[in-house]
Chain A
Amino acid sequence: MLRQHISRRRFLATTATTAAITIVPSNVLGGARHTPPSEILTAGLIGCGGQGGEDLNTYIKAPGGDYKLLAACDVDETRLANARKKFGEHVELYTDWRRLIERNDIDVISIATPPHWHALMCIAAAQAGKDILCEKPMTRFIAEGRAVVTAVKRYGRVFQIGTSGRFGAYKSSRSRRIHKIMRSGLLKHCPAVYIHRGGFPVLRYCGKVNLKPERVPAHLDWDMYCGPSPLRPYHPHRFGGSHRFYWDYEGGSLADFAQHYVDPFQWIYGKDDTSPVEVEACAAPAHPDACGVWAWVELKYAEGLTLVLDGNEWGPRYDRKEPRHVELSDLDEESRKKVEAMPDPEPLLWFAEAVKMRKEAGGHVEASHRAVTIAHLANIAIRLGRKIRYDPVKEEIIGDEAANRLVYQPMREPWHV
Chain B
Amino acid sequence: MSISEQIKNLIGQIPGPDEGGSYANLDMNNIKQIEKVVVQLHKGGRNSALGLIDMLVEPGKGDDIKARFALHLLAVHITRKGSEQARSEFARAVASQVGGDRPKAIQIYLIEQLQLAGTKEVAATLGKALLDRELCDPAARALTSIRDGAAEQLLSALPNVHERQRLSVINSLAVLRAAQAADAFRQALRDPDPDTRIAAAWGIARIADASAAEVLLKCAEAHRGWERINQTDACLALAENLVAAGKRSKAAAIYTYLQRTRTELSERHVYETAERGMMTAR
| In the complex, B271 has a CB within 8 A of chain A | yes
| In the complex, A34 has a CB within 8 A of chain B | no
Residues of A within 8 A of B268 (CB): 2, 5-7, 129
| In the complex, A327 has a CB within 8 A of chain B | no
Tell me if B263 and A2 are in contact (CB < 8 A).
Answer: yes
Tell me if B265 and A8 are in contact (CB < 8 A).
Answer: yes
Tell me if A293 and B24 are in contact (CB < 8 A).
Answer: yes
**Residue on B nearest A123 in the bound complex, by CB:** B233
Contact pick for A2, options B17, B164, B271, CB 8 Å: B271
Residues from 52 to 100 in A contacting B, C-beta threshold 8 Å: 98-99
Tell me if B28 and A416 are in contact (CB < 8 A).
Answer: no
Tell me if B260 and A1 are in contact (CB < 8 A).
Answer: yes
Tell me if A292 and B26 are in contact (CB < 8 A).
Answer: yes
Tell me if B73 and A405 are in contact (CB < 8 A).
Answer: no
| In the complex, A356 has a CB within 8 A of chain B | no
**Residue on A nearest B76 in the bound complex, by CB:** A384
Residues from 76 to 103 in B contacting A, C-beta threshold 8 Å: 76, 79-81
Q: Is the interface of A mostly helix, strand, loop or mixed?
A: loop
What's the nearest-Cβ distance from chain B to residue A203, in Å?
Answer: 5
Interface centre among B108, B168, B269 (most CB of A within 10 A): B269
Q: Beyond A154-B273, A416-B175, is A129–B267 a contact (Cβ under 8 Å)?
A: yes
| In the complex, A174 has a CB within 8 A of chain B | no
Residues of B within 8 A of A155 (CB): 269-270, 273
| In the complex, B20 has a CB within 8 A of chain A | yes
Interface centre among A207, A402, A411 (most CB of B within 10 A): A402
| In the complex, B221 has a CB within 8 A of chain A | no
The docked-state distance in angstroms from the alpha carbon of A384 to that of B83 is 14
Residues of A within 8 A of B174 (CB): 416
The docked-state distance in angstroms from the alpha carbon of A413 to that of B26 is 36
The docked-state distance in angstroms from the alpha carbon of A383 to that of B69 is 12
The docked-state distance in angstroms from the alpha carbon of A212 to that of B57 is 12
Tell me if A414 and B199 are in contact (CB < 8 A).
Answer: yes
| In the complex, B172 has a CB within 8 A of chain A | yes
What's the nearest-Cβ distance from chain A to residue B264, in Å?
Answer: 8
| In the complex, A22 has a CB within 8 A of chain B | no
What's the nearest-Cβ distance from chain B to residue A312, in Å?
Answer: 15
Tell me if B59 and A213 are in contact (CB < 8 A).
Answer: yes
The docked-state distance in angstroms from the alpha carbon of A124 to that of B231 is 12
| In the complex, A173 has a CB within 8 A of chain B | no
Contact pick for B175, options A292, A401, A410, CB 8 Å: A410
| In the complex, B3 has a CB within 8 A of chain A | no
The docked-state distance in angstroms from the alpha carbon of A244 to that of B4 is 36
| In the complex, B138 has a CB within 8 A of chain A | yes
| In the complex, A104 has a CB within 8 A of chain B | yes
Tell me if A290 and B175 are in contact (CB < 8 A).
Answer: no
Contact pick for A5, options B24, B79, B233, B272, CB 8 Å: B272
| In the complex, A156 has a CB within 8 A of chain B | yes
Tell me if A210 and B65 are in contact (CB < 8 A).
Answer: yes
Q: What 0/1 pattern do residues 27 to 60 of B give for CB contact below 8 A with A? A: 1101100110010000000000000000000011
Binds A, one of B110-118, B178-186, B242-250: B110-118
Residue numbers of A with Cβ under 8 A of B are: 1-2, 5-8, 11, 98-99, 101-102, 104, 124, 127-129, 151, 154-157, 203, 206-213, 230, 233, 245, 284-288, 290, 292-293, 314-316, 383-386, 399-403, 405, 408-416
Return 18 A-B CB contacts under 8 Å, by A number.
Answer: A1-B260, A124-B230, A129-B266, A156-B269, A157-B269, A203-B24, A209-B23, A211-B59, A233-B105, A284-B23, A284-B31, A288-B69, A292-B23, A292-B26, A293-B26, A399-B81, A413-B137, A414-B196
Which 6 A-B pairs give the minimum distances between C-beta atoms? A129-B269, A402-B79, A414-B195, A208-B21, A206-B22, A104-B266
